[in-house]
């Protein structure tokens, strides 16, 4: 069995039915991060169903129509990539991915997808590789960008999931497209993307899942500052002052089914410091009434011995 190194003590390997127990444990960890976007984790709820998922992929690989691979980091399965569609007759295939929280921020999915892309183009002669993604799934969209893909368009309300219709973006890469450079800046950008996703995700309490506001302490340096610039005077918080009021309203029923997501960003990296301008949207029930909003953030980052961390953030709601 092959094992391709991905860096950061990680490997890409074939994910097979005999991995079912390990796959199920990983799926349970990944469920909160995957379920908001795709029903991937709902297919594997016990050992029998997890085995069935991997067996279907094994059968489809034998038929040369689909394939699945796992990403192991330090011996633990943390995510994977797959060909969700592989059609040699048309020369078109589709790539997908998933990841649990412990695998984020290291560029593992991007590097694993590049392995699949190289194989599909060079070994199998594919002409076009596609990436289908929910329009609000900014994490997956960022991967498509880092892979050098082009956004072809949007299928409006193409997918139904969790009693909602979702717009689906289609991205693609052609065999004669020039691949993007894989350098230190790319890896740093991936870490900054992951920090922003983790920060915004810390307040999500949709579908009955609890918010995890303590993640804010993990993504910030201890001396970090967060500034609300709404109204006459800015309000400056240290981490504790920012976290505790939000913990309360996200757990006492004041703010429910809440989520916040980035819709656009511009990031600049200068050696060991970086800056990011973001536009974001948010929605939820506030005191029982549905609301939607948007705003802007500016975030500063520093590269520490433990990796990139946020040092300050300021926001302004529109």
Position 40 scores a pLDDT of 67
The pLDDT, as a whole number, for residue 205 is 92
The sign of the CA dihedral 157, 160, 165, 170 is: negative
Q: What confidence score (pLDDT) does residue 283 get?
A: 94
pTM above 0.85, yes or no: no
pLDDT, residue 167, reads 83
Residue 41, pLDDT score: 67
Q: Does pLDDT of 204 surpass 70? A: yes
Distance, in Å, from the CA atom of 233 to the CA atom of 231, rounded to the nearest integer, reads: 6
DSSP code at position 182: -
- Confidence class for position 37, pLDDT limits 50, 70, 90: low
Q: How confident is the model at residue 62 (pLDDT cuts 50, 70, 90)?
A: very high
Give the mean model confidence (pLDDT) for residues 201-213.
89
Q: Please provide the CATH number assigned to the domain covering 3-182.
A: 3.40.630.30
Give dist(CA 294, CA 279) in Å, integer: 7
Residue 1 has pLDDT above 60, yes or no: no
- What gap in Å lies between CA 198 and CA 204, rounded to an integer? 10
Nearest of 87, 117, 84 to residue 98 by alpha carbon: 84
Any idea where the domains of the chain sit in the sequence? Answer: 3-182, 186-317
pLDDT at 185: 53
Residue 136: its pLDDT value, please?
74
Q: Output the pLDDT for position 38.
A: 67
Confidence band of 31 (pLDDT split at 50, 70, 90): confident
206 versus 42: the higher-pLDDT residue is 206
Residue 102: pLDDT band by 50, 70, 90 thresholds? confident
Class of the CATH-defined domain 186-317: alpha beta
Q: Taking residues 244-258, what's their average pLDDT?
A: 95
What pLDDT band is residue 242 in, cutting at 50, 70 and 90?
very high
The pLDDT tens digits of the residues spanning 133-189 come to 887 777 788 888 888 899 999 888 877 666 677 788 999 999 988 665 554 555 788
Q: Is 284 helix (H, G, I), strand (E, B) or coil?
A: strand
Burial of 223 (0-12, 13-18, 19+ CB in 10 A): exposed
Domains 3-182 and 186-317 in one fold:
no
pLDDT in tens, 255-273: 999 999 998 888 888 888 9
CA dist 107 and 111 (Å) reads: 6
pLDDT at 289 over 90: yes
Q: Alpha-carbon distance 51 to 16, whole Å?
A: 9
Per-residue pLDDT band for 55 (boundaries 50, 70, 90) equals: very high
User: What mean pLDDT, rounded, does the chain reach?
Assistant: 88
pLDDT of amino acid 178: 62
Neighbouring C-beta atoms of residue 297, cutoff 10 Å = 20
Residue 318 reports pLDDT greater than 70: yes
């Amino acid at each position: 069995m092959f094992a391709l190194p991905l860096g950061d003590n990680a490997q890409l390997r074939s994910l097979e039915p005999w991995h079912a127990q390990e796959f199920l444990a990983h799926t349970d960890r990944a469920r909160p991060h995957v379920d908001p976007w795709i029903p991937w984790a709902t297919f594997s709820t016990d050992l029998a169903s997890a085995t069935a998922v991997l067996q279907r992929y094994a059968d489809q690989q034998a038929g040369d129509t689909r394939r699945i691979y796992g990403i192991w980091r330090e011996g633990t399965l943390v995510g994977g990539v797959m060909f969700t569609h592989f059609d040699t007759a048309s020369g078109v295939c589709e790539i997908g991915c998933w990841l649990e929280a412990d695998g984020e921020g290291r560029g593992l999915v991007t590097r694993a997808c590049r392995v699949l892309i190289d194989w599909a183009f060079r070994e199998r002669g594919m002409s076009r590789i596609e990436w289908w993604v929910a329009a609000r799934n900014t994490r997956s969209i960022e991967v498509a960008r880092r892979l050098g893909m082009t956004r072809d368009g949007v299928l409006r309300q193409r997918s139904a999931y969790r009693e909602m219709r979702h717009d689906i973006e289609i991205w693609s890469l052609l065999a004669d497209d020039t691949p993007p450079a894989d350098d230190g800046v790319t890896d740093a950008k991936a870490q900054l993307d992951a920090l922003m996703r983790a920060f915004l995700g810390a307040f999500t309490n949709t579908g009955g899942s609890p918010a995890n506001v303590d993640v804010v302490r993990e993504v910030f340096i201890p001396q970090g500052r967060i500034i609300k610039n709404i109204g006459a005077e800015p309000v400056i918080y240290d981490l504790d002052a920012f976290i505790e009021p939000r913990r309360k309203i996200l757990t006492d029923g004041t703010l429910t089914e809440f989520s916040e997501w980035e819709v656009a960003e511009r990031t600049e990296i200068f050696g060991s410091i970086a800056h990011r301008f973001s536009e974001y949207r948010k929605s939820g029930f506030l005191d029982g009434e549905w609301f939607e909003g948007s705003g802007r953030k500016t975030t500063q980052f520093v590269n520490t011995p433990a990796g990139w961390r946020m040092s300050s953030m300021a926001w302004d709601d529109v």
